[in-house]
Structure 1
Amino acid sequence: MSAQVAESRVAAEQAADAPPPQPEQPEVRRFTSGLRIADLLTVLGALAAAVALTTLIATQIAPMHGALAFVVVGYVLFLGIYALLVSLDETGPIVVDRVVAVLVQSGAFLLVGALASVLIYTVGRGFRSILHLNMFTEDMTVTGPLDPLTNGGVVHAMVGTLIQITIALAITIPLGITTALFLSEVPGPFARFVRTIVEAMTALPSIVAGLFVYATYVLFLGLDKSGFAAGLAITVMMLPIMIRAADVVFRLVPSTLKEASYGLGAGQLKTVLHVVLPTSRSGLTTAIILATARGIGETSPVLLTAGYTASLNANPFSGPMVSLPLVVFQMVKAPQRTMIERGFGTAVVLMVLVLVLFVAARILGSRRSYRA
């Protein structure tokens, strides 16, 4: 009993001698994302200093000629001043991270600005032509180069483009998917050789594809220029894009799904049909749209293999057939103002079609390829 009293007395003395508990300090967190006022002021200050210093250099020290030199020198000075301002409050790795972020964002802004300038210029030049309904309902059979914009249209080019792309897709989709499945499911020396050929075809100039089809289909076989020949030339351009995109999609299929299929007794063919292809459905749709957007803008293969005509031709196996890019090329180089405006209006139609395809590819590509 006395031992317990002694222990309690010692514990009481230690509690009396212990320092009072300190209040809990709030946790200080550092935000690594989002825009802070200090960061914005640093960017604005560096930009203002770069503009002022570049103006001083251009007017007093080393006179510059042209806006491009002013922008380049100003941007280099902006990066240096911005790095100096950030280094006053941050460590070295953070300074490097901020400078690299500025470089990446500047590149993105430059690309968006270039795309916007092309769209604005093309729409501005072709705005008057696309306001008339006849632009989408008539061809150029009875329309001369001096006729007003109320006469003639590009319906023959729109129909030709759709027919040629349909022919190209009918060949590209099964052949591209089959080849991509071979590359991903049957690895080996021959598969590596085929992948090398596909990668080389990706950089193939379009004029070479047109010459190849022209030499084989028109000269060697003795057949006439037609929309089918143009579809074959477009296929040569679309096929490597389709194969590479589909190959990447098939490689992203989780190996556990295929192993589970094999474990349940399914063969390779059933695994491909019931696991790989359904899982890759959205990715394959994206690959098809990207390949279509690649082939729909080709001009030189169509010019060599399909010829040019001002009238509507819906038969891909007989007679010349034009496409939207070919009509743009023929109209824009004409000396008449109305023809140039029609050409830019046709370019607007083509760009809208391509942009719709890329937006669709972006939306479809963002979906999950399989359900968890």
Structure 2
Amino acid sequence: MERTGVAMTPGNIRTRKLSTAVVLGIAVAAVALAAVVVFGLGIGNWVLVVALGGVFYLAGVYVAASRVEGRRAARNRTWSALIHSACVLAILPLASVVWTLVSKGMERLDGDFFGSSMNNIGARDPEGGAYHAIVGTLEQVGIATVITVPLGVLGAIYLVEYGRGRFAAAIRFFVDVMTGIPSIVAGLFVLSFYVLIVTPWFNDGRPGFSGFAAALALSVLMLPTIVRSTEEMLRLVPGPLREGAYALGVPKWKTILRIVLPTALSGIVTGIMLAIARAAGETAPVLLVAGGGAAINFNAFENNQSSLALFVYQQAGDASRYAPARAWTAALTLVALVLILTIAAKLLARRNQLTR
């Protein structure tokens, strides 16, 4: 059988393949041709060169593979190259963000930044750090996690294992609605209810801004994420595991505690860390109900308190020439903090699974 002028025999199928050198040559030629077109016509920069080079590369690979391997193999190779290119394009923005954070955040990565606050720091002072913001972030996110994780996990267990009828359907509906609530709405809810109504009873009639109020707002944002992710993970647990436990006479509550939850633990931890990462990066709720502040405040239940996200927002809009460096270092610190917590949680969950 003949296809595109190439005899397709068993020996031919095994031997006629595009070599790696040819593929690399096509890639180099595609980028060079794109550079000549873009820079020669003056229509863009290196980003357009990469995009246009990718198009030329796909066309060149298809033509070369059609002549050597046949049209079917050429289509397969082209689609494979397109999928790999899409993967690279998806990774590039993430790599760019990481590189920008690391390169610009290293400027103030010193002991003074982590050991001092912005209290009594003027626009012309190069000193000042984010110690107060780090303390605020850890306390607010920690309190929100302690409040939200038990509620979210227990709510998901009810929906999967016990929930039936209209009440369970109503809970699922409100969880779905809460998932799309903007963060500023959560902040306004806590401001109007807790700060302006509840705290005046215990504060001589004055509203009390605090880190705890910010933690409540973050809990509103974290709860639907934890409920939804935990619910999906619990539904992935195979039914025969539950049925086997029931057949042995194990009570339902003990089956859930000893079999279902450990099986889904890795996915549950992932959902919890996603919720924590979102809460740690929120600015509007902290600004509304915690007020921010330049001084160190270890008491999350009294007085204003800042956070890393709010610190980045304030420093990015500050007129001081030293503020942008502080903002970039604070952003890098926030990302590193979330990364460390995620790795620690993953390792802890994996260790618990191995020891069972």
- TM-score normalized with structure 2 length: 0.83
Deviation for aligned residue 1:310: 0.4
**Residue 326 of structure 2 is aligned to residue 342 of structure 1:** yes
Against the structure 1 CA distance between its residues 102 and 189, is the aligned structure 2 distance closer, same or farther, given a 3 Å change threshold? farther
How high is the sequence identity, in percent, across the aligned residues? 39
How far, CA to CA, are the matches of 1:199 and 1:94 in structure 2?
Answer: 45
Deviations 1:256-310 (A, max 9, x none): 1110111122332232123212333333333322221221111111111111110
Deviation for aligned residue 1:364: 6.3
**Residue 21 of structure 2 is aligned to residue 44 of structure 1:** no
Structure 1 runs not aligned, ≥5 long:
1-26, 32-36
Specify the alignment match of 1:140 in structure 2: 118
Q: Is the 8 A contact 2:214 2:286 kept in 1?
A: yes
How far, CA to CA, are the matches of 1:360 and 1:42 in structure 2?
Answer: 45
Q: What secondary structure sits across from 1:130 in the alignment?
A: coil
Q: Is the 8 A contact 2:233 2:268 kept in 1?
A: yes
Against the structure 1 CA distance between its residues 351 and 54, is the aligned structure 2 distance closer, same or farther, given a 3 Å change threshold? same
How far, CA to CA, are the matches of 1:56 and 1:340 in structure 2?
Answer: 38
Specify the alignment match of 1:195 in structure 2: 172
Specify the alignment match of 2:97 in structure 1: 118
Deviation for aligned residue 1:359: 3.8
Structure-to-structure mapping, 1:136-285, within 5 angstroms? 136-149=114-127, 152-190=128-166, 191-221=168-198, 222=200, 223-285=207-269
Against the structure 1 CA distance between its residues 114 and 194, is the aligned structure 2 distance closer, same or farther, given a 3 Å change threshold? same
Deviation for aligned residue 1:241: 1.9
Q: Is the 8 A contact 1:258 1:276 kept in 2?
A: yes
Q: Is the 8 A contact 1:293 1:357 kept in 2?
A: no
Structure 2 runs not aligned, ≥5 long:
1-9, 201-206
Deviation for aligned residue 1:326: 0.4
Deviation for aligned residue 1:212: 2.2
Deviation for aligned residue 1:234: 1.0
Q: Is the 8 A contact 1:50 1:74 kept in 2?
A: yes
- TM-score normalized with structure 1 length: 0.80
Q: What secondary structure sits across from 1:148 in the alignment?
A: coil
Against the structure 1 CA distance between its residues 369 and 204, is the aligned structure 2 distance closer, same or farther, given a 3 Å change threshold? farther
Deviation for aligned residue 1:329: 0.9
Q: Is the 8 A contact 1:283 1:365 kept in 2?
A: no
Against the structure 1 CA distance between its residues 119 and 69, is the aligned structure 2 distance closer, same or farther, given a 3 Å change threshold? closer
- Structure number with bigger Rg: 1
Residue type at the aligned position of 2:87: A
Deviation for aligned residue 1:156: 0.8
Against the structure 1 CA distance between its residues 362 and 316, is the aligned structure 2 distance closer, same or farther, given a 3 Å change threshold? closer
How far, CA to CA, are the matches of 1:369 and 1:89 in structure 2?
Answer: 51
Specify the alignment match of 1:87 in structure 2: 66
**Residue 320 of structure 2 is aligned to residue 320 of structure 1:** no
How far, CA to CA, are the matches of 2:152 and 2:74 in structure 1?
Answer: 46
Q: Is the 8 A contact 2:183 2:221 kept in 1?
A: yes
Specify the alignment match of 2:3 in structure 1: none
How far, CA to CA, are the matches of 2:351 and 2:238 in structure 1?
Answer: 16
Deviations 1:125-147 (A, max 9, x none): 2323112x121122121222211
Tell me the C-alpha RMSD between the 2 structures: 3.1
Task: Answer with 161-170 or 192-201: which moved more.
Answer: 192-201
Q: Is the 8 A contact 2:130 2:330 kept in 1?
A: yes
**Residue 305 of structure 2 is aligned to residue 332 of structure 1:** no
Deviation for aligned residue 1:103: 2.8
Residue type at the aligned position of 2:265: R
Q: Is the 8 A contact 1:242 1:287 kept in 2?
A: yes
Q: What secondary structure sits across from 1:128 in the alignment?
A: coil
Kindly tell me the number of residue pairs found equivalent between the two proteins: 337
Q: What secondary structure sits across from 2:107 in the alignment?
A: helix
